[in-house]
Amino acid sequence: MAESVERLQQRVQELERELAQERSRRVLGGGDGAGGRRIEKMSPEVDSNPKNRLMALKRMGIVSDYEKIRTFAVAIVGVGGVGSVTAEMLTRCGIGKLLLFDYDKVELANMNRLFFQPHQAGLSKVQAAEHTLRNINPDVLFEVHNYNITTVENFQHFMDRISNGGLEEGKPVDLVLSCVDNFEARMTINTACNELGQTWMESGVSENAVSGHIQLIIPGESACFACAPPLVVAANIDEKTLKREGVCAASLPTTMGVVAGILVQNVLKFLLKFGTVSFYLGYNAMQDFFPTMSMKPNPQCDDRNCRKQQEEYKRKEAALPKQDVIQEEEEIIHEDNEWARRCCTC
């Protein structure tokens, strides 16, 4: 009796191993296993479609056309604690294309964060992320760049991919997300986006790991990163939110997860036009305080392209017939409420 139980246990173990091997073969091969299956069409009707729960947003009246998510391209600069989780969320949401920029390698010292796994240590972050994300959702297009965007030649290439790396080659991306951890890289993204008139969102987590923020920047319309160093002071956020190179910072997967979550939530609202898109949303974990605000651009901004974008925005606003402006605002408030809460705190 005891012998046959042991034999059965061995057999169960063998079968489990075979099953695991078969499953991983299917996923890696992008075959017909559940993990690697491609979805031809998003449908709110089919139960076996893993996107069904996303499509239910449409049925419930939250989003008017969820399937549109597949038409957008988003660039993520920095694939660390916030950027990697942001990329995973957008991949699972079914974004059309992701462009990832980072020059770091996966390190065992960062395993207190989410997404990367110990066996990926030593690989470039963008390469490891692409492999994982492709397995999660093979419908997403990926373009990865393993370089530092702040050097002169890489900056030109970065600008070129932002302008031409959209879902359709030659068209700009729909949104740039800054998930970097230093001031220089933020200023580089700011410079590029001001020059291109490219909308972007900035994110950050403080060095002490207990606060963070996200910020939407529409060149000419809202304060750019160079316009508003006082933003940090005004929001009463620790200045250390803006990390300095070479400083050994604390990090918590919780804070990074929260910041990635509010960032992607803002991205979804912005792209799919639902709810109120935040221009600035802070997170203070010590008090569970979420400050929001928005700021107009600074007419004396140091960035000449920011000033140019401001002039262009003013010209466009002035060209709108007055009545149309009122109608549009009413429409926005009730329907696709994007900028309606654009208050002025300056």
**Residues designated catalytic:** 248
- Which among 89-97, 106-114, 266-274, 293-301 is the span making contact with Zn ion, rule CB under 5 A? 293-301
Shortest distance, position 322 Cβ to Zn ion, whole Å: 27
If binding means CB under 5 A, how many residues of this protein chain bind Zn ion? 6
Cα distances from 231 to residues 36, 60, 153, 294, 308, in angstroms, run: 44, 37, 31, 9, 21
- Which among 88-96, 105-113, 264-272, 299-307 is the span making contact with Zn ion, rule CB under 5 A? 299-307
Which amino acid type is present at position 133?
L
42 DSSP assignment: -
Shortest distance, position 306 Cβ to Zn ion, whole Å: 3
Report the sign of the C-alpha dihedral through residues 131, 134, 135, 136, in that order.
positive
What string of DSSP letters covers 289-337?
A: B--EE--PPPTT-S-HHHHHHHHHHHHHHHHS-HHHHHHHHHHHHHSS-
d(C-alpha 74, C-alpha 93), whole Å: 12
- The CA angle 305-273-283, to the nearest 5 degrees, is 75
Shortest distance, position 296 Cβ to Zn ion, whole Å: 10
d(C-alpha 59, C-alpha 8), whole Å: 48
**Which x/- pattern, by CB under 5 A, does the window 305-334 give for Zn ion?**
-x----------------------------
d(C-alpha 245, C-alpha 126), whole Å: 20
Q: 51 or 307, CB closer to Zn ion?
A: 307
Q: Are strands 175-178 and 73-77 parallel, antiparallel or unpaired?
A: parallel
Q: Please list every residue from 199 through 238 that binds Zn ion, using CB under 5 A.
A: 224, 226-227
Q: Which of 73, 90, 242, 301 binds Zn ion (CB under 5 A)?
A: 301
d(C-alpha 256, C-alpha 206), whole Å: 10
- Which among 29-37, 132-140, 239-247, 303-311 is the span making contact with Zn ion, rule CB under 5 A? 303-311
Q: 7 or 316, CB closer to Zn ion?
A: 316
Q: 27 or 301, CB closer to Zn ion?
A: 301
Residue among 245, 177, 246, 243 nearest 209 (CA): 243
Shortest distance, position 230 Cβ to Zn ion, whole Å: 12
**Which x/- pattern, by CB under 5 A, does the window 128-147 give for Zn ion?**
--------------------
- Which among 85-93, 124-132, 158-166, 300-308 is the span making contact with Zn ion, rule CB under 5 A? 300-308
Shortest distance, position 193 Cβ to Zn ion, whole Å: 10
Q: 271 or 301, CB closer to Zn ion?
A: 301
* Binding of Zn ion by 192 (CB under 5 A): no
Shortest distance, position 174 Cβ to Zn ion, whole Å: 21
* Residue the block writes with tokens 């929260």: 258
Give residues in contact with Zn ion (CB under 5 A).
224, 226-227, 301, 303, 306
